[in-house]
């Protein structure tokens, strides 16, 4: 079996889909690993380390795509590259399946078995393969570091002979994996943190990290305990939420929004009228920018300062800001996937689509779209 990992082509992307450590794990299984020369240039995994791990380097991306049985990527592939990918190849990457049906159709017609990392089930068994979580954890951290760097204030309280400096105030909206890491990071740096999520369980987790939970009575609670993903709120519930949050936003130095609803556009939680009332110099990081944004006026991949001095950050490469560690855990997720389905006797991957993990994340197989959510 040949596994190929190309260099990412998106200019925002600094991660590598495979690191030398994962390459070694898979070489030890008997897989031939080929990586594109320079794959780890931006995340500080030199070519030399890949060679030492037993992987081979190539500069011929087209040949490698057309000959490999497995492909690892971070971001979704281009249409042109799918056309030259070997039939029967198993392709693992983020695929943005809810927004890119053309790509899915092409992958199906080309006979590619596509695994969407967004669709890996959130079960204990699949946790080690869950790239959404491993990457959200990194982006939660880097979003706080980035905001702290842009803020013209210190984060912790400082008692000095010249007077006391109050701690910076952070408000984290959406307490999933990214939100929890953002809370933990801001707390470690000494900020005062308030947090909100529609899920009760998440509010309790925020409190256990030392944040103040904002509790909003949203009427009939659409989100039952233990539910992994939040359900979409009704327009009336969203209005209530925005109203209850407004004062906290106005009082905060940094607002980080991470609120997503699986498979749907992210809800607008911060409207322009509230941004207009926020403090001069305050920062808003919209971590949901790629799925439409939680903040009215966010521009994807840009940051700008509003007329009243609020910096709105809609960057989508927070994982890439810590690309070394983001690649480490991303690549470990993909390595675990291969190991889980590896048949040691036959030295190949066994993909039984009836398996509980595979039935969740295999989108195309045998020239067809096979995932029920994406069949027309």
Is 146 a catalytic site residue? no
Q: Does residue number 125 form part of the binding site for ligand NAD (CB under 6 A)? A: no
Q: Does residue number 188 form part of the binding site for ligand NAD (CB under 6 A)? A: no
Q: Does residue number 175 form part of the binding site for ligand NAD (CB under 6 A)? A: yes
Q: Token pair 């389905």 is at which residue? A: 341
Q: Does residue number 130 form part of the binding site for ligand NAD (CB under 6 A)? A: yes
> What phi, psi does 245 have (nearest 5°)?
-85, -25
Residue of the chain from 127, 200, 306, 359 that contacts ligand NAD (CB under 6 A): 127
Is 229 a catalytic site residue? yes
Q: What angle do CA 222, 313, 283 make, to 5 degrees?
A: 85
Catalytic site residue from 56, 75, 96, 229: 229
Strands of the sheet containing 90-93, edge to edge, are: 56-58, 32-36, 2-5, 70-72, 90-93, 113-116, 362-365, 368-369
Residue 286: closest CA among 182, 152, 143: 143
Closer residue to ligand NAD in complex, CB, 33/270: 270
Binding characters for ligand NAD, 240-279, by CB under 6 A (x = yes): -x----------------xxxxx----x-x----------
Residue of the chain from 136, 182, 284, 363 that contacts ligand NAD (CB under 6 A): 136
Q: Tell me 253's DSSP state.
A: S
Q: Where are the alpha helices (DSSP H) in 113-230?
A: 131-150, 177-188, 200-208
Binding characters for ligand NAD, 73-112, by CB under 6 A (x = yes): ----------------------------------------
The piece of 108-116, 191-199, 299-307, 311-319 that touches ligand NAD (CB under 6 A) is 191-199
Residue of the chain from 6, 167, 176, 335 that contacts ligand NAD (CB under 6 A): 176
Is 122 a catalytic site residue? yes
Spatial distance between the Cα atoms of 35 and 18, rounded to a whole number of angstroms: 8
What is the end-to-end Cα distance of the chain in Å, rounded?
A: 33
Is 328 a catalytic site residue? no
Spatial distance between the Cα atoms of 309 and 244, rounded to a whole number of angstroms: 23
Residue 19: closest CA among 33, 29, 32, 1: 33
Catalytic residues, which ones?
A: 122, 127, 130, 133, 229
Contact positions vs ligand NAD (CB under 6 A)? 122-124, 127, 130, 132-133, 136, 173-179, 196-199, 202, 228-230, 233, 241, 258-262, 267, 269
């Amino acid at each position: 079996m040949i596994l190929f990992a190309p260099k990412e082509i998106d200019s925002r992307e600094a991660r590598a889909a495979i690191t030398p450590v994962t390459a070694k794990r898979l070489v030890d299984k008997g897989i031939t690993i080929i990586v594109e020369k320079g794959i780890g240039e931006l995340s500080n995994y030199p070519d030399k380390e890949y060679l030492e791990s037993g992987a081979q380097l190539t500069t011929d991306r087209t040949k490698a795509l057309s000959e490999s049985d497995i492909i690892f990527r971070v971001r979704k592939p281009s249409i042109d590259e799918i056309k030259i990918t070997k039939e029967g190849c198993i392709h693992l990457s983020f695929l943005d399946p809810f927004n890119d049906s053309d790509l899915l159709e092409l992958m199906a017609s080309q006979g590619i078995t596509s695994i969407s990392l967004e669709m890996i089930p959130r079960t204990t068994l699949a946790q080690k393969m869950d790239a959404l979580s491993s990457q959200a954890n990194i982006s939660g951290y880097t979003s706080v570091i980035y905001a702290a760097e842009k803020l013209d204030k210190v984060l912790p309280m400082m008692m000095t002979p010249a007077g006391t400096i109050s701690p910076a105030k952070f408000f984290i909206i959406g307490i999933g994996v990214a939100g929890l890491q953002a809370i933990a990071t801001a707390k470690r740096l000494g900020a005062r943190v308030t947090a909100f999520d529609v899920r009760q369980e998440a509010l309790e987790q925020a409190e256990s990290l030392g944040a103040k939970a904002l509790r909003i009575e949203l009427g009939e609670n659409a989100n039952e305990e233990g539910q992994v993903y939040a359900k979409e709120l009704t327009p009336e519930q969203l209005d209530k939420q925005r109203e209850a949050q407004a004062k906290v936003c106005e009082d905060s130095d940094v607002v980080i929004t991470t609120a997503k609803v699986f498979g749907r556009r992210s809800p607008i939680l911060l409207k322009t009228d509230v941004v207009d009332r926020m403090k001069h110099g305050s920062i808003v990081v919209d971590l949901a920018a790629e799925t439409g944004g939680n903040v009215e006026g966010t521009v994807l991949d840009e940051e700008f300062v509003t007329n009243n001095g609020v910096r709105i950050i809609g960057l989508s490469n927070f994982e890439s800001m810590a690309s070394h560690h983001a690649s480490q855990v991303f690549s470990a997720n993909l390595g675990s996937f291969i190991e889980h389905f590896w048949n040691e006797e036959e030295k190949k991957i066994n993909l039984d689509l009836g398996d509980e993990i595979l039935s969740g994340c295999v989108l195309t197989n045998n020239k067809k779209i096979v995932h029920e959510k994406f069949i027309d």
